[in-house]
């Protein structure tokens, strides 16, 4: 059930796991959209020629996935702040899962803190971050 | 090089060194939202009463330079992370201004030596001068020995 108000949020609750579209096609479209269409985001073979393991998903797309996950969980959530650490590359065409957990609730200011993690199929953390969001009371 | 970080902080922090205008194209912001997997209509439907750019859209807007022209070169910079702070919605179809400064400079020392972290912040303003958002890029450089 989607969250619509703060009182529906429980401390320590897990957000529904989110499977982002980390296909090369989507990563390449995004990279071209924002003017970052270098081969490392658009072509596996060309990325390997740059010494990489393959094409990667742009870091800011990973950040966008985190926010989309929050809006899937709570559509009216207003993002106040998000801080993201790119620990390792999110490889295009590999399957990834985003998990999130509510780590703080500030009832006075109607805000919630959420820790977010992007992991690959091996369970390796690729990106993690913290978001602060505001919800209707 | 054993850079005096306090001296560098004093010389460079909180001084604007770049300013750039951006047009917030609705076609771009809606596609940006769609590719991120957004489902909230206010980011996807340009006829929505609260139509706005997705919160992380500003992270895709780069200034003309990441560092002041005379900033010391410690080594090759790597992307260590990004942060966004949303103060007011960014409205598609408008022009915004990004003003860039160094927000923080700090060090961490590990087994491989000292790492220097530089946080470059772009503050975004609308045409009326309202502060809309901040976009932070954290760069890490390994100090040359």
pLDDT tens track for A72-122: 999 999 999 999 998 899 999 999 999 999 999 999 999 999 999 999 999
Residues of chain B in contact with residue A82, where contact means CB-CB under 8 angstroms, are 55-56, 83-84
Chain B residues with beta carbon closer than 8 angstroms to that of A30: 32, 35-36
Cβ pair A82:B32 closer than 8 A: no
pLDDT digits (tens, 9 = 90+) for B41-85: 999 999 999 999 999 999 999 988 889 999 988 877 888 899 999
Give per-residue pLDDT as tens, A26-55. Answer: 999 999 999 988 899 999 999 999 889 999
| Percent of chain B scoring above 90 in pLDDT | 78
- Strand ranges in chain A using DSSP code E only, listed in sequence order: 78-86, 96-106, 111-120, 125-134
Q: Which of A59, A61, A81 sits opposite B79 (nearest CB)?
A: A59
pLDDT at B3: 65
Considering only CB atoms, which chain A residues are within 8 Å of B80? 85-86
Q: What pLDDT is recorded for position A2?
A: 93
Give the mean model confidence (pLDDT) for residues B98-127.
Answer: 93
For A51-80, what is the mean pLDDT?
96
**Quick check: A61 contacting B, CB < 8 Å?**
yes
> Would you call A130 helix, strand, or coil by DSSP?
strand
Domain regions of chain B by residue span: 5-142
Does B80 sit within 8 Å of A86, measured CB to CB?
yes
Query: Does the domain made of A6-134 have the CATH classification 3.10.129.10?
Result: yes
Helix B26-36 with A59-73: angle, nearest 10 deg: 80
Query: Which of B33, B79, B83 lies at the smallest CB-CB distance from A82?
Result: B83
What is the arithmetic mean of pLDDT over B19-44?
97
Measured distance CA(A136)–CA(B140) in Å, rounded:
38
The answer to whether A93 contacts chain B (CB < 8 Å) is no
Interface check for A88 against chain B (CB to CB < 8 A): the answer is no
Tokens of B69: 């022209």
The verdict on domain B5-142 having CATH code 3.40.50.980 is no
CB contact under 8 Å between B55 and A20, yes or no, is no
Band (pLDDT 50/70/90 cuts) for residue B141 is confident
| Whether B123 contacts B86, CB under 8 Å | no
Residue ranges of domains in chain A: 6-134
In angstroms, the CA B134 to CA B126 distance is 12
Cα distances (angstroms) measured from residue B100 to each of B71, B76, B78: 14, 21, 19
- ipTM for this model: 0.95
pLDDT band of residue B110 (cuts 50, 70, 90) is confident
Name the residue among B31, B80, B81 with its Cβ closest to that of A33: B31
């Amino acid at each position: 059930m989607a969250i619509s108000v703060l009182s529906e949020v429980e401390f320590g609750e897990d957000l529904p796991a989110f499977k982002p579209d980390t296909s090369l096609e989507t990563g390449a479209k995004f990279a071209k959209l924002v003017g970052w269409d270098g081969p490392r985001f658009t072509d596996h073979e060309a990325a390997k020629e740059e010494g990489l393991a393959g094409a990667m998903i742009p870091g800011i797309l990973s950040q966008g996935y985190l926010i989309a996950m929050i809006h899937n969980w709570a559509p009216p959530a207003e993002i106040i702040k998000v801080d993201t650490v790119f620990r390792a590359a999110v490889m295009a065409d590999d399957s990834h899962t985003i998990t999130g957990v509510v780590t703080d609730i500030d009832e006075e200011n109607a805000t919630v803190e959420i820790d977010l993690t992007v992991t690959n199929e091996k369970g390796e953390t690729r990106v993690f971050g913290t978001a602060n969001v505001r919800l209707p009371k | 090089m054993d850079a005096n970080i306090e001296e560098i902080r004093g010389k460079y922090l909180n001084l604007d060194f770049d300013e750039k205008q951006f047009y917030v194209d609705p076609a771009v912001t809606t596609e940006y939202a769609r590719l991120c997997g957004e489902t909230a209509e206010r980011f996807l439907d340009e006829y929505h009463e609260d139509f706005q750019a997705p919160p992380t859209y500003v992270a895709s807007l780069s200034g003309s330079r990441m560092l002041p022209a005379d900033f010391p070169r410690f080594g090759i910079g790597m992307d260590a992370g990004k942060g966004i702070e949303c103060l007011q919605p960014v409205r598609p179809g408008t022009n915004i201004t990004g003003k860039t400064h160094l927000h923080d400079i700090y060090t961490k020392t590990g087994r491989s030596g000292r790492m220097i972290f530089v946080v470059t912040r772009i503050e975004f303003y609308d045409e009326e001068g309202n502060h809309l958002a901040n976009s932070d890029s954290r760069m890490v450089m390994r100090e040359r020995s």
